[in-house]
Amino acid sequence: MSSEVVRPPVDHDAPPIIEVEGLSLRFHKSRRHRSIRDLLFKGQTGVRAGEFWALDDVSFSVQPGEAIGVVGANGQGKSTLLKALTGTLLPDQGSVKVHGGISPLIEITGGFVGELTVRENIQVVSGLHGMSRREIDAAFDEIVEFAEIASSLDSPYKHLSSGMKVRVAFAVVSRLEEPIMLVDEVLAVGDRAFREKCWDRIEEMLAEGRTFFLVSHSERDLTRFCTRGLYMQAGRVTMDGPIEEVVEAYLKDSDDNLALRRHEVRQRRQARREAREAAIREQAAADAERDREADES
């Protein structure tokens, strides 16, 4: 085990909890008007101009209890992959099979309504995620304590600061007893102390043996929580292995990119300087020519 978190061992002979096969998802580069006829009667097959594959023939399977870090630069399909796993995006080709419920820590403030109080929101959103009345009552105090929100329980949700909103949302969603947990950079907001609290909570959930997906750019978080890495480039999983190796490959690539970009910038600057110098030389030559002509006449 490479990560620092203590967790039950993964049973590699158990049936997989997630099976992804040939998963492909296509997006339009720009919003384009389609005719009603096009939509209703023409099929969805065939790549059109202006389309790209956000996910391109992605296949992998996950054992219960695995902790997977998804790495890659922006726009390479990481979030799309998580959305396909939750079922909030449907594949254009291939299949996604998830055997078990998911706690999606993605867009966690989605179910909250500004007009209702924090108390009502906690009850409603827990219910939206499938918790029963009794479960909600049992978890309510814990949620309030975790979010440190006791003093504003009866004020409207919209009066909270954005950081507080995320706190409440995280407190609710992290209370769900689902076997799979997806985290997509939600913790970027919130102050440092709370972020650390969130990670502690996630660690707790990992210790219970839940299956875990983390999208992150933080090398530290990835290696702390995950054991396996998926490296995504242009919609494909280009590497699937131990998290250290995957993170190393990603960092190397992004360092290379950075170096390349610096190199390009340097070259461009050099070219500009040369052009400027050439212009000055030309000007000087022209001036000298004019002076000579003036002398001669």
Partner 1 sequence: MTVDTTVSRSPWARVKGIWAARKVLALLIRRDLKVKYASSALGYVWAVLDPLLMAGVYWFVFTQIFQRLDVGAEPYIVFLVAGLLPWQWFTGAVNTSGRALNASAKLIRAQNLPREIWVLRPVLAGAVSYVFALPVLALFVVVYGAGVTWYVLLMPVAMLVMIVLLTGIGLLLAPLIVLIKDLDPIVNVVVRLLFYASPIIYSHRDLPPGYEWASVANPLNGILGMFRAAFFPDQLQVSGALTATAISFGFLAVGWLVFARLERTVLKEI
- Tell me, residue by residue from 127 to 146, as one string, x for binding to partner 1 by CB under 8 A and - for no binding: xxxx----------------
Residue 167 interacts with partner 1 (CB under 8 A)?
A: no
Check: CB of residue 17 under 8 Å from CB of residue 42.
no
Residue with structure tokens 């600057």? Answer: 269
User: Under rule CB under 8 A, which residues in 214-243 are in contact with partner 1?
Assistant: none
Residue 171 interacts with partner 1 (CB under 8 A)?
A: no
Residue 154 interacts with partner 1 (CB under 8 A)?
A: no
Residue 61 interacts with partner 1 (CB under 8 A)?
A: no
Q: How far is the CB of 206 from partner 1 (least distance, A)?
A: 21
Closest CA to 106 of 73, 70, 147, 132: 70
Q: Which residues 6+ apart lie within 8 Å of 195 measured at CB?
A: 187
Residue 59 interacts with partner 1 (CB under 8 A)?
A: no
Total interface residues for partner 1 by CB under 8 A: 44
Residue with structure tokens 């158990």? Answer: 14
- C-alpha span between 196 and 13 (Å, rounded): 34
Q: How far is the CB of 228 from partner 1 (least distance, A)?
A: 21
Q: Which of 60, 63, 73, 120 binds partner 1 (CB under 8 A)?
A: 120
Contacts by residues 141-145 (CB-CB < 8 Å, ≥ 24 positions apart): 142/175, 143/168, 143/171, 143/172, 143/175, 144/171
Residue 34 interacts with partner 1 (CB under 8 A)?
A: yes
Decide: helix, strand or coil at residue 60: strand
Residue 36 interacts with partner 1 (CB under 8 A)?
A: yes
- C-alpha span between 173 and 165 (Å, rounded): 12
- C-alpha span between 165 and 116 (Å, rounded): 13
- Tell me, residue by residue from 79 to 98, as one string, x for binding to partner 1 by CB under 8 A and - for no binding: ----xxxxxxxxxx--xxxx
Residue 202 interacts with partner 1 (CB under 8 A)?
A: no
Residues that bind partner 1 (CB under 8 A): 25, 27-28, 31, 33-34, 36, 39-40, 44, 83-92, 95-102, 104, 106-111, 113, 115-116, 120, 124, 127-130
